[in-house]
Amino acid sequence: MLLELSPQKNPSSPEATSKTAELLERFRNAGTKIAIQKDGELTQISREVLADTYGIRVPSKDSREKTLFGVSDDGEYGFVYARNKGICDLVANGAVDLAVVGTDRLFEDDVENRVEVVASFEDRYSWPLVVATPLNSDISSLSQVRRVATQYPRITQRFFESWGAEIETVPTVGSTELYAYIQYGGEPIDAIVDMSITGRSLSAHNLVPWDPSIGDIYPVLIRGQEVQSA
């Protein structure tokens, strides 16, 4: 028996719908659109650098709210709250004018030649990207590494190629430290590449970072190439 569906009334109140429509219209009319990470550490950093450096105040947003856009009090700036991995694409394709992103996304999203870095905030925020292996690992040279788990596959490939190592990257979406101790696809992981601010998480999982690190990740303000030539 097929499920019978009955027509339902729209639960949205006229007042709420009106407020959303008004906000959306203000967003469309905003002179400059800016994308920021919708939640996470980079969200607060974006608020700080935009306010301190450019006097741009990002409106407060309740994490429970589903609205993915906002508007500054003066109506000049519209804000898009997006996933970190999608922000560079929005800028490169002209959907927004500016964005604050980590430098890792420029390379991972392959937009280095499609956006312009307007400002760097490396002096205020910086996080090392490291290679780490288990404490009891037999790996004594990075040229021995064959499988690497990481959220940064393109950066990792480039780094190991500089060591003459041909590797397979295993993409992760979190809990990267655990991959050093599991059989993924029936084979072990030799190393991980991850961001390490304090080193505490690596230490808690008996992982030892290699020195020097791959490099630092830090926030930058970017805009599209079309904006540059305008």
Q: Are 105 and 87 in contact (CB under 8 A)?
A: yes
Q: Band of the pLDDT at 62, cuts 50, 70, 90?
A: low
Question: Across residues 169-182, what is the average pLDDT?
Answer: 93
The domain limits of the chain are 18-125+218-229, 127-216
* CATH homologous superfamily for the domain 18-125+218-229: Periplasmic binding protein-like II (3.40.190.10)
pLDDT of 16? 54
DSSP 159: H
pLDDT of 165? 85
- Kindly tell me if the per-residue pLDDT of 26 is higher than 70: yes
* Mean pLDDT, the chain, whole residue set: 89
- CA–CA dist 26, 80 (Å, integer): 13
- Kindly tell me if the per-residue pLDDT of 175 is higher than 80: yes
pLDDT of 230? 39
pTM over 0.85: no
Label residue 78 exposed, middle or buried (CB < 10 Å: 0-12, 13-18, 19+). buried
58-62, 121-125, 183-187: lowest mean pLDDT where? Answer: 58-62
* CATH homologous superfamily for the domain 127-216: Periplasmic binding protein-like II (3.40.190.10)
DSSP 11: -
User: What is the per-residue pLDDT across 67-114, written as a single tens digit (0 to 9) for each?
Assistant: 889 999 999 999 999 998 899 999 999 999 999 999 999 999 999 999
- CA–CA dist 81, 143 (Å, integer): 41
> Whose CA is closest to 80, among 20, 125, 114, 32?
32
- CA–CA dist 227, 115 (Å, integer): 9
